[in-house]
Amino acid sequence: MNPNKETTNLLRFFFVFFFFYVFVLSARFQLSEAAKDSSAQQVKLQNRRLGSSVVFPVSGNVYPLGYYYVLLNIGNPPKLFDLDIDTGSDLTWVQCDAPCNGCTKPRAKQYKPNHNTLPCSHLLCSGLDLPQNRPCADPQDQCDYEIGYSDHASSIGALVTDEFPLRLANGSAVNPHLTFGCGYDQQNPGPHPPPPTAGILGLGRGKISISTQLKSLGATKNVIVHCLSHNGKGFLSIGDELVPTSGVTWTSLATNSPSKNYMTGPAELLFNAKTTGVKGINFVFDSGSSYTYFNAEAYQTILDLIRKDLNGKPLKDTEDKNLPVCWKGKKPLKSLDEVKKYFKTITLRFGNQKNGQLFQVPPESYLIITEKGNICLGILNGTEVGLDSYNIIGDIFFQGIMVIYDNEQHRIGWISTDCDKIPNEYGGDISEEAYPRGFGLITELFSGSDSSKNKNLASDGEL
């Protein structure tokens, strides 16, 4: 054998082996980096999805409608329903063609169930948190509900599950299956006719709340934002993308509250930046309530101060069917701008006196002008209507501010905002055509359903 040739072959073998080894290592490194990039991208997408929001335009007003509402698609194919945006209750429900007793919508605009009831053994059935749940004799029996509101309206029905087509602010479309109420018996015994809306969008703190369900599915964070304007517009968001990074005033939710309402810690009542002597009052933030309700002591205190302030002013007490306390001018009023100079700012101070969080309410956010041209006080005596010591901040106080219900950090925030502008910069088509609108009341879950009330509905109650 030629030793030079052998040496040459060995060198060739060495170089081939070396380059092959380098190639394999390089390929493995590139594959590893690609896998890392893919994994990182997946995590990024997941984080982006979890951080996204659903944004809806809002329509409505405190007076004369008495509610703010959004439009929400449900089902496949989707059907639009106008729903009251209600942070005062957990359960979302729509009028249901089962058939329906007491529904205000025609059958074509009611929800039609399709063998999609939730069994009573499901966790969300117990998540209704009703004081008296019906016994679940058969795990496959449908989950019935009965929900009542402080205006004595009520809805009876069964829980169902269906698709909710949503477009997130990050541009992605999702179709989560959510649980809600199919209401086949609606009662409205009060003096006022029921709202002409299809149901209620429950945004409370319970398991059955739409925001809690979206959080559990990883679609959004459990943060609710609403901004209600004085001019009949606004927006609603589920998720935290609309929350400003600065300028928000925050106060903690009460930790010892027996209910799942958005109840704050104790506050002091101020009038014209001066103490009224009324302290230690807890407030429930409730977008389902048109007006604000103070307990008897706080109500009488603020009413006395307003009346004292009006001495010598060109406003006189008058009766008006719309609200208990009203005044008239020398001629019918057309705008609050004509008289708001005669009224002072009301302030709720949460926390301590030195570093308390101030929720300021200017006159235009606690007064209304009626069709008679009278000016009326949008603060009512909650004790007189059966709310006992509850104090409820309703839509009238929310006008012109962004309110943030942060269930992630157990706090509520607010900041003055132009609520007439829908934040299109947060992505997606949130035009009125894409997401038309919704509505409001004071609401509260009360005792569970009583089968004796529903004997005449036995045949219709099975969906």
* Residues noted as catalytic: 86, 286
Angle 56-242-263 from CA coordinates, rounded to 5°: 90
- 């008289």: which residue's tokens? 339
Pairing of strands 177-187, 93-95: parallel
Residue-by-residue DSSP string for 50-89: HT--EEEE-EEETTTT-EEEEEEEETTTTEEEEEEEETT-
Query: Using an 8 Å Cβ cutoff, are 406 and 223 in contact?
Result: yes
Distance set, CA 290 to CA 41, 195, 308, 395 (Å)? 46, 12, 26, 5
Which of the 8 DSSP states describes residue 424?
Answer: G
Q: Cβ neighbours of residue 435 under 8 Å, at least 6 residues apart?
A: 55, 56, 57, 70, 71, 167, 429
Alpha helix stretches (DSSP H) within 235-353: 296-309
Q: How many CB atoms lie within 10 A of CB 97?
A: 18
Pairing of strands 375-377, 379-381: unpaired
Which of the 8 DSSP states describes residue 245?
Answer: S
Element (H, E) at 33: helix 3-50
* Strands of 118-220, DSSP E: 144-148, 154-163, 166-167, 173-174, 177-187, 199-202
Which of the 8 DSSP states describes residue 277?
Answer: S
Query: Using an 8 Å Cβ cutoff, are 61 and 439 in contact?
Result: no
Sheet holding 379-381, edge to edge: 284-285, 392-393, 292-294, 379-381
Two structure tokens written together for 210: 């739409």
Helix (H, G, I), strand (E, B) or coil at 369: strand
Q: Cβ neighbours of residue 309 under 8 Å, at least 6 residues apart?
A: 272, 342, 343, 344
The sign of the CA dihedral 39, 44, 49, 51 is: positive
Two structure tokens written together for 381: 């005596």
